[in-house]
Amino acid sequence: MKENTALEHVGSGADRLDTFFTRRGFVKVSSAFVASMVALGLLPDSAAAAPTSSKGKVDYYATPSHVLKVNRARCTGCQRCEMSCTLKNDGVSQPAAARIHVNDGFYYGSELGSGDGIYYSMEWMVRTCHMCTTALCQTSCPQAAILTDDNGVRSVDPDKCVGCGTCVAACPWHMPVVNTVTKKSTKCIACGRCADQCPNGALELVKWENVNHSSGPTRQANPEQLVTEKQDFIAGGKIA
């Protein structure tokens, strides 16, 4: 199949905040700080053994092993990714709590007027976790409930999470979701089940370092005027 790769992206497709998006993106902190981070569960145990620099600082990069790559032109909106995600991670089918978001942009894209969605361009956002080098969801959490596993992936500890939504607000792309029923936050753990089930190969779990850096489109450059704003639609009677 001919590859349509021009618009592949990771994350929400929005312009990145962390432009330094490579495996060499690292944080410089003191070893004592690392130890405390490990104790809090924010970094894996392996972090403590990370090499120490001559200035008494550690170079530690908590980059995840994998990230989802998206080609939204291939997405046909079936939303099996959302159901598959929650079946695997929550034991229920609950798209609103999924760690990948399609359904909220399916009709009108990222916002009304974006020119996207099934009513306009027939493209829509497939929003996935950016797997940030500096994960604001994690650093903002007042309960220290977002932990980093051995793969560098952050996940929510439901026992610690109180569902305050700080992570949702802190994430520049608002990717975590506080489940309306369990009142716990959820975020992507790069399990790849969504990609397994995508009938169009629009999703791919790739090694983090192989990420295509391009940001995907978030809206149409020249969106069609909203039908609620124009006056020549059929059933409004203006044409007929």
Q: Contact positions toward another protein, by CB under 8 A? A: 1-2, 4-7, 71-80, 83-84, 86-88, 90-97, 103-108, 111-112, 117-123, 180-181, 193, 195-201, 217, 224, 226-228, 230, 232-237, 239-240
For residue 45, give the 3-state DSSP assignment.
helix
Of 35 and 118, the one with the shorter C-beta distance to another protein is: 118
Query: How many Å apart are CA 60 and CA 2, to the nearest integer?
Result: 39
Query: How many Å apart are CA 105 and CA 128, to the nearest integer?
Result: 13
CB of 115 to another protein, least distance (A): 8
CB of 135 to another protein, least distance (A): 24
Q: Are 129 and 175 in contact (CB under 8 A)?
A: yes
Of 2 and 55, the one with the shorter C-beta distance to another protein is: 2
For residue 67, give the 3-state DSSP assignment.
strand
Of 64 and 105, the one with the shorter C-beta distance to another protein is: 105
CB of 190 to another protein, least distance (A): 17
Query: How many Å apart are CA 231 and CA 1, to the nearest integer?
Result: 42
Of 6 and 169, the one with the shorter C-beta distance to another protein is: 6
Q: Which of 8, 223, 219 is nearest to 123 (CA)?
A: 219
For residue 6, give the 3-state DSSP assignment.
coil
Rounded to 5°, the CA angle 175-98-176 comes to: 25
CB of 160 to another protein, least distance (A): 22
CB of 72 to another protein, least distance (A): 7
Of 52 and 200, the one with the shorter C-beta distance to another protein is: 200
